[in-house]
């Protein structure tokens, strides 16, 4: 019985070993930079506007088309956090070009009169097309530039 199952087991092991997992990363994945345009000011409330500029640079040799930008909290913040925000866009970026998107976010806290001292971390997900195929780029920022 064991001898009969051995070829089937070897075939199954070969198939699992040769399979690919996960999404392929595009050679045209854009470079991304996020910068905060003004310092956070909560005043006497529990929420504050957080305006950021998202710079998307095309490092590929052909144009890319950005379809969606999603910004999420990066985790690690104890004093405050941000609400996730998704924005649908249709921006074509030529090779070597950089486009800036202005995104208005909201930060929130449970500490009255907070003057934040910790850095803002953020995750970004970019949906884009390159070479006629759709891709997603994932980015993690441990500290956003001011």
Ranges 25-34, 38-47, 62-71: which has the least confidence: 25-34
Give pLDDT, residue 103: 95
What angle is formed at CA 74 by the lines to CA 100 and CA 36, rounded to 5 degrees?
35
Question: CATH code at 55?
Answer: 2.60.40.10
* % of the chain at pLDDT higher than 70: 82
Looking at the domain assignment, is residue 29 inside a domain? yes
Give pLDDT, residue 26: 61
The domain tally of the chain equals 1
Looking at the domain assignment, is residue 14 inside a domain? no
Looking at the domain assignment, is residue 146 inside a domain? no
Looking at the domain assignment, is residue 5 inside a domain? no
Length of the chain: 146
Looking at the domain assignment, is residue 4 inside a domain? no
Task: Give start and end residues of each alpha helix (H) in the chain.
Answer: 2-18
SS3 114: coil
* % of the chain at pLDDT higher than 90: 62
Looking at the domain assignment, is residue 6 inside a domain? no
Give pLDDT, residue 16: 43
Question: Is residue 110 predicted with pLDDT exceeding 90?
Answer: yes
Q: Which domain, by its residues, includes 121?
A: 23-141
Looking at the domain assignment, is residue 101 inside a domain? yes
Looking at the domain assignment, is residue 115 inside a domain? yes
pTM score: 0.77
Give pLDDT, residue 49: 95
Contact 80, 109 (CB under 8 A): yes
Residue position matching structure tokens 């850095």: 119
Give pLDDT, residue 14: 45
């Amino acid at each position: 019985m064991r001898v009969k199952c051995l070829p089937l087991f070897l075939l199954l092991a070969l198939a699992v070993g040769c399979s690919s997992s996960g999404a392929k990363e595009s050679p045209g994945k854009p470079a991304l930079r996020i910068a905060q345009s003004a310092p956070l000011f909560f005043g006497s409330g529990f929420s504050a506007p957080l305006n950021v500029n998202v710079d998307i640079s095309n490092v590929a040799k052909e144009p890319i088309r950005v379809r969606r930008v999603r910004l999420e909290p990066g985790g690690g913040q104890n004093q405050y956090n941000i609400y996730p925000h998704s924005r649908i866009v249709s921006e074509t970026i030529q090779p070597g070009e950089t486009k800036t998107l202005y995104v208005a976010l909201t930060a929130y806290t449970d500490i009255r009169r907070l003057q934040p001292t910790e850095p803002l971390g953020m995750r970004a997900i970019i949906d884009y097309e390159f070479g006629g195929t759709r891709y997603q780029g994932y980015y993690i920022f441990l500290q956003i530039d001011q």
